[in-house]
Structure 1
Amino acid sequence: MDRVRTGARLVTTAAGDVEFAERGGGFPVLAVHGAVGGFDQAMTLANPLLARGMHVIAPSRFGYLGTPLPADASPAAPADAHIALLDALAIERCVVIGVSAGAPSCIEFAIRHPARCAALVLMVPLAYAPREPYRETIHLTPAARFLLSTGLQSDFVFWIGITHALTGLASRVLATPRDLIEAASPGERKRVQTFLKTMLPLRPRIAGTRNDARIATSLEPSHLRAVKAPTMILSGRDDGFGLGLGARYTARHIPGARHLTFERGGHILAGHGDEALAAVESFLDAHAR
């Protein structure tokens, strides 16, 4: 835990205690991590933006690492917690980047606090979409069930998987086709391995991950047409968590949203890391102001 907390701070806000890391200067970017994450995962994902002169603020969401899980942990509550953190840091306006299970609170941020959101980026987002008749919620996919039932049980087993069975672990935990990981370049495989390492240690991330699972199976429609910020969405059609449908629905209903879809790449957009980063950087060059 001490290793993980290196570089993090705990601040008391109007919404309670929030753990976060902060690096860089320039225009502020709020980087919001996905499931089995924390400030460290968000900072790892946003690290390339530091080289472009961005000021990255990376909080641990409710139930992750040093941020407690409150009674109300629905998507609107963490959105307001994001605002409370920005208030504590005297930051008036920022770009908001939400990854995977971090997307619901970022969408609510843009809806509830439009004047504070300069631009919205949703990467492989967990988002609402209409389902089959008489069923408005999603079921956990086999990959998600594995993550909750087996993948989070042992730091040692997880570490062994990262170092000695990367392809198998990544295909199940990160819901990405095995052949894509096997065919990935050394640099891309390193990206996958680095991302998996941000999930350790597991224990202080379990409460948040289970809360994310509850949210995933009970998502309700958001007032997407109220989003005023320029929006970019990135997703993969073969996302093993089944998030492509929600990404497409969100892109269709946010006015002017740009949607970059990869036919193959799974949940982590394997093989498209450089292309996805270039697209996000170009988008931010135009709107981070």
Structure 2
Amino acid sequence: MADTACGPIEYAMSGDGPAVLLVHGAGGGYSQVADLQRLLAASGFTAIAVSRFGYLRTPLPADATPAAQADAHACLLDALQVPRAAALGLSAGAPSALQYCVRHADRCTALVLLVPAIAVPGREVAETTPPSPFWQFVFDHALRSDFVIWGLARLWPEVLIETVLATPLEDFRNASDPERQRALAVVRDIFPVSPKVDGLKNDVLVTTPSPSPALSLIAAPTLAISTRNDLYGTDAGMAHAAAEIPGARLILFPDGGHAWLGHDAEVRAALVAFLRQATAPHRADRP
């Protein structure tokens, strides 16, 4: 835990090199991005995984907007004596990563939007919006019960693969065993859900249409990644951000769903290569 000017914030930090702030998606907490943290720490970066507002031990403040969360990211960096950091926003972590690079542009060395749950003008894109009345019941009731979510994760994990992980079952069933295990690990990380309920409720608000940050003002090198069959429709948000942010690079896979199944090796290689190039001028920075 870090005591910051923005309040207590839970985090995990490892590695040495240019700093990268890892901002998790819905149902997470810092542990959701542990695999990415290990990758970046082993690749010459200081990887800082943070629990967003309402998740695990990071409390939900009265103002829990993406802008306030972005300021909290900066407060955490202050507490850790990290002058600058790239931001990687995964899914519902993307809105505050975007705001961080707008509100704290002098500290943002690079931006990665990974299957980003961000609003698109004229279209509702919300990570916690289910596709049918049945899934609405699952979201309204099952995700508020540790016992139910544990039972689903252990006995009927494919329900959560399609609803929570927004990945077509065909992609999951056809994936390699390591890729299926990666998807199941994300699902299991949701349990226990009770320390994350406040964050899940808040994510409904932060991923629905609201005044967008001035994306055209983002000067940091930007990489946006999604898939065409993400059941949350993050390809639209990714394309919008990539079109608005000057010089943004876009990677769109034809399949793989929200978990980008079948493309993890490509995603990992792209992340490391992009961040190495983007943060090269800041390699002298040390936490």
| TM-score, length basis structure 1 | 0.90
2:138 is the alignment partner of 1:141: no
2:234 is the alignment partner of 1:243: yes
1:111 Cα offset (Å):
0.7
- Corresponding residue for 1:279? 270
- The CA distance in 1 between the partners of 2:178 and 2:74, in whole Å, is 36
CA contact 1:79–1:109 (8 Å) conserved in 2: yes
- Corresponding residue for 2:74? 83
1:27 Cα offset (Å):
1.6
2:29 is the alignment partner of 1:42: no
Q: Runs ≥4 in structure 1, deviation > 4 angstroms?
A: none
CA contact 1:18–1:85 (8 Å) conserved in 2: yes
1:141 Cα offset (Å):
3.3
CA contact 1:127–1:219 (8 Å) conserved in 2: no
- The CA distance in 2 between the partners of 1:184 and 1:150, in whole Å, is 30
Which shifted more, 51-60 or 39-48? 39-48
The structure 1 residue matched to 2:65, chosen from 56, 68, 74, is: 74
2:102 is the alignment partner of 1:128: no
RMSD: 1.7
- The CA distance in 2 between the partners of 1:125 and 1:219, in whole Å, is 15
- Corresponding residue for 1:52? 43
- The 1:30–1:194 alpha-carbon spacing in structure 2 relative to 1, beyond 3 Å, is same
* Structure 2, gaps ≥5 residues long: 281-287
1:56 Cα offset (Å):
1.1
CA contact 1:237–1:263 (8 Å) conserved in 2: yes
1:138 Cα offset (Å):
4.5
After superposition, the C-alpha distances for 1:124-164 in whole angstroms (9 at most, x for unaligned) are 001121226xxxx4462327735631441333332333334
| TM-score, length basis structure 2 | 0.91
CA contact 2:150–2:192 (8 Å) conserved in 1: no
Matched to 1:251, the amino acid is A
* Structure 1, gaps ≥5 residues long: 1-9
SS at match of 2:21: strand
- Corresponding residue for 1:4? none
CA contact 2:119–2:208 (8 Å) conserved in 1: no
- The CA distance in 2 between the partners of 1:270 and 1:150, in whole Å, is 28
The structure 2 residue matched to 1:152, chosen from 143, 156, 160, is: 143
- The 1:146–1:125 alpha-carbon spacing in structure 2 relative to 1, beyond 3 Å, is farther
- The CA distance in 2 between the partners of 1:79 and 1:157, in whole Å, is 33
Matched to 1:60, the amino acid is S
**Identity, % of aligned positions:** 42
